[in-house]
A and B are shown apart, each in its own frame.
Chain A
Amino acid sequence: MKLKPTTQTELSSMLARASSDLTPIAAVDLTHFDQIVEHCREDLTATVQTGMRFQSFQETLEKHGQWLPLDPPPSENLTVLDVLNHDLTGPRRYAFGKARDYVLGLKVVLADGTIIRTGGKVVKNVAGYDLGKLFIGAGGSLGILIEATFKLLPRPRSERFLYRTCASGPELQTTLAAIKHSPLRPSVMDCCRLEGLPASGDLVALVLGFSGTSAEVESQTSQAAGFGFCQAIDLDYDRRFWSSRARESVRTLSVTPKSVASTIKSLLPSPFLCRAGNGIIYMAHSGESAVSPENTVLEHRTKKTFDPNHILPRLPSRL
């Protein structure tokens, strides 16, 4: 069954009915939930309905020199809900983290139609359990998020992205380590082998980004030149990677930052995109999809507690 509620009360009764009829929910269209509820500019917080397009949300914040520092691959139809359900991140994740670092509160409609709120709208809050964490990245398996309150940051006044090529294996390992031990504080540390970027044979492209005030970005850019980063680039490589393939066809590996270089070497010559600072590697999977590990007993118990009739999507896969 596909749902397209116009109000939260309607969504609540739709779910209550589906729960008692044991009707699985195939999709929920939150087109009608597309408003910014509150933007407290001086507090750097905003509450938004999750059906709002992510780009529109960011554009509104940008007018006030603020942003939610999550940068999933730009896409016209991406909603705030998509970002939360799938815990989407982008190249700036290295410095800015993930959705869980910015969500202050959520409004959720549970499988039985109960509406709950988690957290609040202040930037520091330990009252009650941190229930919100359960729903972020849960793929809608435990409830439907309809509203989220975010902590915002001032938008960096300046950003610059640079790249160089690097032989995979030991040279990559040494370069990454040298950057980490240097005074550089990049916001982006990506490594990739993609069409349109000069990489051949053993070579991969290494991208560094800096975000901050003009003075900060300038001083870092000139220091980065000492590590061979002289060519300017934009983040279009990230968009191209994701726009040329379905998210489901991308395999995600999560390794320690230290093992990035050796893991990449074993993947060549397949195209890949890697958040080298975080140890996250995305690759188009060839042939049959890799088997992900089973969800744990505790995860299944959580699912059973919040969606006993299994009307919502199944649990997100483990890596």
Chain B
Amino acid sequence: MNLDVNHENSTNPALLADLHRILGTHQILSDPLDLLVYECDAYTLEKKVPSVVVLPNSTLEVAEIVRCCKKHQVAFIPRGAGTNLSGAILPIENAVIISLSRMNKVLQVDIENRRALVEAGCVNIWITHAVRSAGLLYAPDPSSQTACTIGGNVATNSGGPHTLKYGVTTNHVLGFEIVLPEGEVIWLGATMEGGEDTGGLDLRGAAIGCEGMFGIVTRVLVNLIPAPQSWRTLLGVFSSVDDASQAVSDIIASGIVPAALEMMDQLITQAVEAAYKFGFPLNAGALLIVELDGLEADLENQAVEVERLCLANHANEVRRARTDKQRADLWKCRKRAFGAIGRLSPNFLTQDGVVPRSKLPEIMRFIQQTSAKYGLRIPNVFHAGDGNIHPLILYNETHAEEVDRAVKAGNEILDRCLELGGSVSGEHGIGVEKAGFMEKQFSKADIEAMKSLRRIFDPEQRCNPRKMFPNGKRCMDFAPRRQISV
């Protein structure tokens, strides 16, 4: 196969004609103005306007589109809500963008078996909304959960604050329907009517987190869990990030498993407070949000122990959410923290490295040094309990030199994560952004094995090509242009 990599944006007229035979006019976008929305995801450093976007209404239509792409030997890219943070759905190679946004229904809820069948474009939080009255919820809760779709969650194996205790997407997806790049529709894992074990190879598990490179996920069977009986939500107020990091390490080592354990440093707290007015202390060096949930019987003891560990690490005070509303407000602030960054800077680049939890104090000190070294502000809001950092490197994209410094600072932080025995991505994925890091984290043999797995699903490698793996040509050399102006 010879993909047309250097081609200027243009739609093959024969392909477009075929797509029109499959879909209604309102399901095909090819007007440059309509397409602008699809030029990037939430990773905005690289952009490219696609040549055509299709909006199927059914698995059948997806399969026909995929077969049409095969016939014309063009690439295609699945797209949910576009909240990805690593450029995993960056349009390249004149690929057809297949947006699942119209396939967004909760199809079936089975309370007794605690499962729900939803379409790939269904927004994450809608599942919990649909089952909340039965005392159930869908556990993985990415900060973007009011927008991101379950198909995208499957593609990136999404996490969220509460995955510390409850696990990530792969732990909660029983099975799914996927349209393979050759046009065949198959189901992997458990079915709506079947038991949770299926025997054979766990291709379900192997495909979750494939960053949309194995096919188009169209329907997903998710597992539901009972909502926790009770909770305690604490806010530890610390003078320094160092003390807060040590408290995290001590809480984990103590044997308590919090539902969530999140940190916000002073810079992000000030921005969040200015935006959402929760009443955070503005002079604190770092805040820890610790949520304990489960059976009422022992929660208070655990809460007291967490308070003790915070105070032992020099917390100035430990506050508690007293009402459901306070708790909900606190989480709203945490989950919308990225949105408050606009108050600090026109642009930001977020990293998603992971370190062993005991190395948290060390990586946080390194981030502070990196900030000083590059003269860039780097606020932090992240999943401390998992050792999953999210430094937000602030820059102004109109200063080319500042963009370079931001990229360099980010790379150094990720290099350090690897040196400490960690990973370059805990939940955002590799996409185009971190493809260059794969060879640092994995051996050539490891990467070859991954590529072999991909070819099992997509022999021609037309599904979301040129992502994840380092290419002979850097992405930027052939397709997306760096963003140079707003």
User: A120 contacts which chain B residues (CB < 8 A)?
Assistant: 421-423, 441
User: B441 contacts which chain A residues (CB < 8 A)?
Assistant: 120, 127-128
User: A197 contacts which chain B residues (CB < 8 A)?
Assistant: none
User: B356 contacts which chain A residues (CB < 8 A)?
Assistant: 40, 43, 45, 121-122
A295, closest chain B residue (CB): B200
Which of B198, B200, B295, B387 contacts A219 (CB under 8 A)?
B295
B115, closest chain A residue (CB): A256
Query: In the docked arrangement, what's the CA distance between A258 and B194, Å?
Result: 11
Extra pairs beyond A131-B446, A258-B110 (15, CB < 8 Å)? A100-B170, A114-B448, A120-B421, A122-B356, A122-B423, A125-B425, A126-B430, A131-B450, A134-B202, A141-B201, A212-B295, A278-B196, A306-B452, A315-B200, A317-B199
- Say whether A126 contacts B387, CB under 8 Å: no
Q: How far is the CB of A151 from chain B (nearest CB, A)?
A: 10
Q: How far is the CB of B421 from chain A (nearest CB, A)?
A: 6
User: A213 contacts which chain B residues (CB < 8 A)?
Assistant: 297-298, 301
- In the complex, identify which listed stretch (B231-239, B249-257, B280-288) lies at the interface while the others stay far away: B249-257
User: A41 contacts which chain B residues (CB < 8 A)?
Assistant: 253
21 contacts between A and B (CB under 8 A): A43-B357, A44-B357, A101-B167, A122-B386, A123-B354, A124-B168, A124-B427, A127-B424, A129-B206, A130-B208, A130-B209, A133-B206, A134-B201, A137-B202, A220-B295, A254-B195, A254-B197, A256-B193, A278-B197, A318-B198, A319-B197
Q: Does B112 contact A (CB under 8 A)?
A: yes
Q: Does B426 contact A (CB under 8 A)?
A: yes
Q: Does A296 contact B (CB under 8 A)?
A: yes
User: A299 contacts which chain B residues (CB < 8 A)?
Assistant: 200-201, 203
For chain B, the count of residues having a C-beta within 8 Å of the partner chain is 82
Query: In the docked arrangement, what's the CA distance between A315 and B203, Å?
Result: 13
User: A258 contacts which chain B residues (CB < 8 A)?
Assistant: 110, 112-113
Query: In the docked arrangement, what's the CA distance between A154 and B205, Å?
Result: 26
B420, closest chain A residue (CB): A122
Query: In the docked arrangement, what's the CA distance between A112 and B135, Å?
Result: 51
Closest 5 CB pairs of A and B: A254-B195, A133-B205, A154-B255, A319-B199, A219-B297
B300, closest chain A residue (CB): A215
- Say whether B195 contacts A279, CB under 8 Å: yes
Query: In the docked arrangement, what's the CA distance between A129 and B428, Å?
Result: 13
Q: Does B157 contact A (CB under 8 A)?
A: yes
User: A318 contacts which chain B residues (CB < 8 A)?
Assistant: 198-200
B451, closest chain A residue (CB): A129
Interface size bucket, A side? 35 or more
Query: In the docked arrangement, what's the CA distance between A9 and B30, Å?
Result: 56
Which of A43, A117, A302, A317 contacts B446 (CB under 8 A)?
A117
- In the complex, identify which listed stretch (B18-26, B317-325, B454-462) lies at the interface while the others stay far away: B454-462
User: A44 contacts which chain B residues (CB < 8 A)?
Assistant: 252-253, 357
User: B202 contacts which chain A residues (CB < 8 A)?
Assistant: 100, 133-134, 136-138
Q: Does A216 contact B (CB under 8 A)?
A: yes
Q: How far is the CB of B416 from chain A (nearest CB, A)?
A: 14
Query: In the docked arrangement, what's the CA distance between A125 and B170, Å?
Result: 12
Interface string of B254-288 (1 = CB under 8 A from A): 01110000000000000000000000000000000
- Say whether A256 contacts B194, CB under 8 Å: yes
- Say whether A126 contacts B198, CB under 8 Å: no
Q: Does A25 contact B (CB under 8 A)?
A: no
Query: In the docked arrangement, what's the CA distance between A212 and B452, Å?
Result: 43
Q: Does A116 contact B (CB under 8 A)?
A: yes
- Say whether A130 contacts B387, CB under 8 Å: no
Interface string of B381-421 (1 = CB under 8 A from A): 00100111000000000000000000000000000000001
- Say whether A302 contacts B443, CB under 8 Å: no
Q: Does A253 contact B (CB under 8 A)?
A: yes
Interface string of B104-120 (1 = CB under 8 A from A): 00000010111000000
B205, closest chain A residue (CB): A133
Which of B186, B298, B429 contacts A212 (CB under 8 A)?
B298
Query: In the docked arrangement, what's the CA distance between A11 and B387, Å?
Result: 35
Q: Does A255 contact B (CB under 8 A)?
A: yes
A302, closest chain B residue (CB): B456
Query: In the docked arrangement, what's the CA distance between A237 and B178, Å?
Result: 41
Enumerate B197-228 residues with CB–CB distance to A below 8 Å. Answer: 197-206, 208-210, 226
Interface string of B344-383 (1 = CB under 8 A from A): 0000000000111110000000000000000000000001
Q: How far is the CB of B168 from chain A (nearest CB, A)?
A: 7
Query: In the docked arrangement, what's the CA distance between A257 and B111, Å?
Result: 11
Known: A42-B357, A118-B446, A122-B354. A292 touches B199 (CB 8 A): yes
Query: In the docked arrangement, what's the CA distance between A100 and B204, Å?
Result: 12
Q: Does B294 contact A (CB under 8 A)?
A: yes
Q: Does B185 contact A (CB under 8 A)?
A: no
Q: Does A183 contact B (CB under 8 A)?
A: yes
User: A136 contacts which chain B residues (CB < 8 A)?
Assistant: 202, 205
Which of A115, A279, A298 contacts B203 (CB under 8 A)?
A298
- Say whether A125 contacts B354, CB under 8 Å: yes
- Say whether A302 contacts B203, CB under 8 Å: yes
User: A292 contacts which chain B residues (CB < 8 A)?
Assistant: 199
Query: In the docked arrangement, what's the CA distance between A42 and B361, Å?
Result: 13
Query: In the docked arrangement, what's the CA distance between A292 and B438, Å?
Result: 39
User: B167 contacts which chain A residues (CB < 8 A)?
Assistant: 97, 101
Which of B113, B201, B357 contacts A123 (CB under 8 A)?
B357
Which of A101, A110, A154, A280 contacts B449 (CB under 8 A)?
A110
Q: How far is the CB of A173 from chain B (nearest CB, A)?
A: 10
Q: Does B49 contact A (CB under 8 A)?
A: no
User: B229 contacts which chain A residues (CB < 8 A)?
Assistant: 183, 185
- Say whether A126 contacts B297, CB under 8 Å: no
Which of B186, B194, B226 contacts A185 (CB under 8 A)?
B226
- Say whether B257 contacts A154, CB under 8 Å: yes
A281, closest chain B residue (CB): B195
Q: Does B453 contact A (CB under 8 A)?
A: yes
- Say whether A215 contacts B196, CB under 8 Å: no
B158, closest chain A residue (CB): A126
User: B383 contacts which chain A residues (CB < 8 A)?
Assistant: 124
- Say whether A126 contacts B195, CB under 8 Å: no
Q: How far is the CB of A116 from chain B (nearest CB, A)?
A: 5
User: A183 contacts which chain B residues (CB < 8 A)?
Assistant: 229, 295
Q: Does B159 contact A (CB under 8 A)?
A: yes
Interface string of A41-65 (1 = CB under 8 A from B): 1111100000000000000000001
Q: Does B94 contact A (CB under 8 A)?
A: no
User: B434 contacts which chain A residues (CB < 8 A)?
Assistant: 127
- Say whether B298 contacts A216, CB under 8 Å: yes
- Say whether A126 contacts B425, CB under 8 Å: yes
Q: Does B156 contact A (CB under 8 A)?
A: yes
